[in-house]
Structure 1
Amino acid sequence: MADYTDIAIIGGGLAGSITAAMLGRAGIPAILVDPHAISPPDFRIEKISGAGQIGRFRRTGIADKALTQATLTPENWIARFGYVLERAPVPQCGILYDTLVTAVRDEIRGRVTRIVAKAVAITPGEDRQSVVLSNGQTISARLVVLANGLNVGLRHMLGITRKITSPAHSISIGFDLTPAGRAAFPFPAMTYFQERADARVPYITLFPIGERMRANLFAYREVDAPWLRAIRRAPVETLMAALPGLRRITGPYAVRGEVKVRPADLTINTGYRMPGVVLVGDAFCTTCPVTGTGSDKVFTDVERLCNVHIPRWLATDGMGEAKIAAFYADPVKIACDAWSLDKAWNFRSVSIGASPYWQAQRWARFAVSLGRGIQQRLTKTNAPLNVYSSSSSSSSSSSSSSSSSLSSSA
Structure 2
Amino acid sequence: MRYTDIAIIGGGLAGSTAAAMLGRAGVPSVLIDPHQVYPFDFRVEKLGGAVQLERFARTGLAESVLRSSTSDGENWIARFGRLLDKAPSQQFGIMYDALISAIRSEISGPAEFICDKVVEVTTSAERQTLVLASGETISARLVVLANGLNVGLRRMLGIERQITSVCHSISIGFDFVPVGRPAFPFPAMTYFSERPSDRIPYITLFPVGSRIRANLFTYRQADDPWLRAMRHNPVETLNAALPRLRRITGDFDVAGDIKIRPADLYVSTGYQQPGIVLVGDAFATTCPVTGTGTDKVFTDVAQLCNVHVPAWLATDGMGAEKIAAYYDDPLKIACDAWSNAKAFNFRSVSIDSGAYWQAQRWARFLVYFGEGRLRRLRSGRRQAAVTHAMAQTP
TM-score, scaled to structure 2: 0.96
Q: Which residue of 2 aligns with 1:18?
A: 17
Deviations 1:130-164 (A, max 9, x none): 11111101110000000000000000000001111
Deviations 1:79-132 (A, max 9, x none): 000011011112110000000000000000121121111111111101100111
Q: Once structures 1 and 2 are overlaid, which stretch shifts more, 207-216 or 110-119?
A: 110-119
* Cα RMSD for the two superposed structures: 1.1
Deviations 1:284-329 (A, max 9, x none): 0000000000000000000000000000000000000011100000
Q: Does 1:127 align with 2:126?
A: yes
Identical-pair percentage: 66
Q: Hey, what's the Cα distance between the residues in 2 that align with 1:338 and 1:162? A: 17
Q: Hey, what's the Cα distance between the residues in 1 that align with 2:354 and 2:137? A: 57
Q: Which residue of 2 aligns with 1:396?
A: none
Structure 2 counterpart SS, 1:380: helix
Structure 2 counterpart SS, 1:381: helix
* Shift, 1:58, TM fit: 1.1
Q: Which residue of 2 aligns with 1:216?
A: 215
Q: Hey, what's the Cα distance between the residues in 2 that align with 1:5 and 1:110? A: 12
Q: Hey, what's the Cα distance between the residues in 1 that align with 2:280 and 2:250? A: 39
Deviations 1:209-261 (A, max 9, x none): 00110000000000000000000000000000111111000000000000100
Q: Does 1:163 align with 2:168?
A: no
CA 1:209–1:337: 2 relative to 1, 3 Å: same
Q: Hey, what's the Cα distance between the residues in 2 that align with 1:118 and 1:363? A: 50
Q: Which residue of 2 aligns with 1:252?
A: 251
One-letter code aligned to 1:127: E
Q: Hey, what's the Cα distance between the residues in 2 that align with 1:341 and 1:18? A: 22
CA 1:382–1:168: 2 relative to 1, 3 Å: farther
* Shift, 1:381, TM fit: 2.1
Superposition pairs of residues 239-388 of structure 1, within 5 angstroms = 239-381=238-380
One-letter code aligned to 2:295: D
Residues 51 and 90, structure 1, Cα contact 8 Å, conserved in 2: no
One-letter code aligned to 1:28: V
Structure 2 counterpart SS, 1:57: helix
Q: Hey, what's the Cα distance between the residues in 2 that align with 1:330 and 1:307? A: 12
Q: Which residue of 1 aligns with 2:38?
A: 39
Q: Which residue of 2 aligns with 1:4?
A: 3
Structure 1 counterpart SS, 2:339: helix
Q: Which residue of 2 aligns with 1:398?
A: none
One-letter code aligned to 1:42: D
Q: Hey, what's the Cα distance between the residues in 1 that align with 2:299 and 2:174? A: 29
Q: Which residue of 2 aligns with 1:226?
A: 225
One-letter code aligned to 1:93: F
Q: Hey, what's the Cα distance between the residues in 2 that align with 1:104 and 1:258? A: 26
Structure 2 counterpart SS, 1:307: helix
Which segments of structure 1 move beyond 6 Å, counting only runs of 4 or more? Answer: none
- How many residues were matched structurally? 383
Q: Does 1:151 align with 2:167?
A: no
Deviations 1:253-283 (A, max 9, x none): 0000001000000011110000010000000
Q: Hey, what's the Cα distance between the residues in 2 that align with 1:88 and 1:124? A: 50
Residues 290 and 344, structure 1, Cα contact 8 Å, conserved in 2: yes
The answer for unaligned runs of 5 or more in structure 2 is: 384-394
Structure 1 counterpart SS, 2:254: strand
Q: Hey, what's the Cα distance between the residues in 1 that align with 2:381 and 2:243? A: 29
Q: Which residue of 2 aligns with 1:204?
A: 203
Structure 2 counterpart SS, 1:131: strand
Q: Which residue of 2 aligns with 1:175?
A: 174
* Shift, 1:379, TM fit: 1.1
Q: Hey, what's the Cα distance between the residues in 1 that align with 2:268 and 2:108? A: 32
Higher relative contact order (CA 8 A, sep 6+): 1
Q: Hey, what's the Cα distance between the residues in 2 that align with 1:279 and 1:179? A: 43
Q: Hey, what's the Cα distance between the residues in 1 that align with 2:346 and 2:112? A: 41
Structure 1 counterpart SS, 2:380: coil
Q: Which residue of 2 aligns with 1:402?
A: none
Q: Hey, what's the Cα distance between the residues in 1 that align with 2:11 and 2:139? A: 18
Q: Does 1:78 align with 2:77?
A: yes
One-letter code aligned to 1:31: V
Q: Hey, what's the Cα distance between the residues in 1 that align with 2:382 and 2:289? A: 33
Q: Hey, what's the Cα distance between the residues in 2 that align with 1:226 and 1:277? A: 42
Q: Which residue of 2 aligns with 1:53?
A: 52
* Shift, 1:33, TM fit: 0.5
* Shift, 1:383, TM fit: 11
Q: Which residue of 2 aligns with 1:104?
A: 103
* Shift, 1:355, TM fit: 0.6
Q: Hey, what's the Cα distance between the residues in 2 that align with 1:55 and 1:245? A: 35
One-letter code aligned to 1:270: T
One-letter code aligned to 1:199: D
Q: Hey, what's the Cα distance between the residues in 1 that align with 2:72 and 2:380? A: 22
TM-score, scaled to structure 1: 0.92
The answer for unaligned runs of 5 or more in structure 1 is: 385-410
